[in-house]
Amino acid sequence: MSKKIIIGMFGFGVVGQGLYDIIKTKKLNLEIKRFVIKNADKKRSLPAELFTTEADVILNDPEINTVVELIDDAEAAFEITKRALSSGKNVVSANKKMIACHLEELAAIQQEHGTSLLYEGAVCGSIPIIRNLEEYYDNELLHSVSGIFNGSSNYILSKIFNENQSYEGALKKAQELGFAETDPILDVGGYDPKYKLAIVASHAYGIYVDPEKILNLGIDKLGTQDIRFAKEKNFKIKLIPLAKEIDNNRVVLYVLPKFISADNLLYNVENENNGVVVKAAFADEQFFFGKGAGGHPTGSAVLSDITALRYGYRYEYKKHLDATQIQYSTDYVLRVYLRYTDEATLENIKFNNISERYYSEDFKYVIGEINLQEIIEKRDLINQPGNFIAELV
């Protein structure tokens, strides 16, 4: 028999409101007792007595057995989550940066105190990829997990390639719709999908990798020349994180824009939607598709975690037990397209080989093979204004 969930919720923004909307339409054995918010003066749709600015009101309430953490501040979220788990409360979170940066410590706290932290809503909105990696693929040999993990950048790229909008125009529209922040670098710079990739890799391969050690280069330097090049070759550009096992004990992780053709499963994943492709030894190739952004899609993933807690569900981190020999590696060769403006840029980057080179007054690029470690070491040079890099299969 399921137990009643008494919830204390931190945050009441887009996802929090979306979650509340879903809960009130269902008859579930749960209750939201209090909300902790930053701004007590902001007008809200619920009675004022439900809200407080004091974290201890929830964390010290013995009746509340579940904390739902939906705030933006990763470090504050970590302190809340750590305190809640250590005091016997289960936690559901959608904070991908907090989880990615502190997952190893949080897993240890759960083990020590017998509590559960669930975070399906932190990765790819409504797509249940974490639960599938934990349960369906728990004994599977995974070749790779990749996809479109960020709805904001995908919306921008969709407008560019499907409606011939400029990057600036598409970004402005994404901001107007609330898909992108005023400072959108977390999305278009590839940081958001990098945090999600670190979480996915942990469940896919049983490794904890500091996100700071994972390469992320985004679409913020995308130019009209790159768009023209892609269209001439019948490609689209998508921002794609990749976790891939490259031999029996090494895994590579990175986030890069990628030219993809029409036969790629991600080619028609458009707007704010996300898609995840899992390639496995026995299950072969499988594709997950769904809304990657928005209050209701993410709220549905959060609710799925909450309802799982009624039956005592916990991530078992099964693959970590067998992962003692698996190592994170940056020794991996990629084929890339690099647009550049200054010849000194090219002179200071070591390619294994260059198969194509184009030079005109307003457009210079090379196509060649390069080691991932070289991109990491030359990241600042490659990411200067006037340059753009993307993987090319």
Is residue 323 scored above 80 in pLDDT? no
Q: Which contacts qualify for 18-26: CB closer than 8 Å, 24 or more apart?
A: 18/294, 18/295, 18/296, 18/297, 18/298, 18/299, 19/68, 19/70, 19/295, 19/299, 19/302, 19/303, 20/46, 20/299, 21/295, 21/296, 21/299, 22/296, 22/299, 22/300, 22/303, 23/303
Say if residue 28's pLDDT is above 90.
Answer: no
Instruction: Give the tens place of pLDDT for each residue, 43-72.
Output: 888 888 899 999 999 999 999 999 999 998
Residue percentage of the chain with pLDDT more than 70: 99
Task: Give the pLDDT confidence of 159-186 residue by residue, as tens digits.
Answer: 999 999 999 999 999 888 877 777 899 9
Distance from C-alpha of 168 to C-alpha of 131, rounded to nearest angstrom? 37
Partners of 289 in beta bridges: 275
Q: Provide the pLDDT for residue 324.
A: 64
For residues 125-136, give the mean pLDDT. Answer: 92
The whole-model pTM stands at 0.95
How far is 333 from 292, CA to CA, in rounded Å?
Answer: 30
Residue 1: band (very low, low, confident or very high) from pLDDT cuts 50, 70, 90 = very low
- Which phi and psi (to 5°) does residue 268 adopt? -100, 15
Euclidean distance between CA atoms 213 and 186, whole angstroms? 16
Q: 42 an active-site residue? A: no
Tell me what the mean pLDDT of segment 134-147 comes to: 92
From the list 89, 97, 196, 258, the catalytic residue is: 196
Residue 204 is predicted with a pLDDT of 95
Structure tokens at 302: 């959060």
Q: Domain extents for the chain?
A: 5-130+296-321, 136-291+325-392
Residue 82 has pLDDT above 50, yes or no: yes
pLDDT, tens only, 83-121: 999 999 999 999 999 999 999 999 999 999 999 999 999
- In CATH, which of 3.40.640.10, 3.40.50.300, 3.40.50.1100, 3.30.360.10 is domain 136-291+325-392? 3.30.360.10
- Count Cβ atoms below 10 Å from residue 87 Cβ, excluding itself: 13
For domain 5-130+296-321, which architecture applies? 3-Layer(aba) Sandwich (3.40)
Distance (Å, whole) CA 133 – CA 97: 19
Distance from C-alpha of 119 to C-alpha of 126, rounded to nearest angstrom: 12
Whether 322 shows a pLDDT value over 70: the answer reads no
Q: Are 184 and 349 in contact (CB under 8 A)?
A: no
* Strand positions, DSSP E, 325-387: 327-328, 333-340, 353-359, 364-371
pLDDT, tens digit, 9 for 90 and up, residues 197-235:
999 999 999 999 999 999 999 999 999 999 999 999 999
Whether residue 2 has pLDDT greater than 70:
no
Query: Which region among 34-48, 49-63, 337-351 has the lowest average model confidence (pLDDT)?
Result: 34-48
Average pLDDT score over residue span 268-293: 93
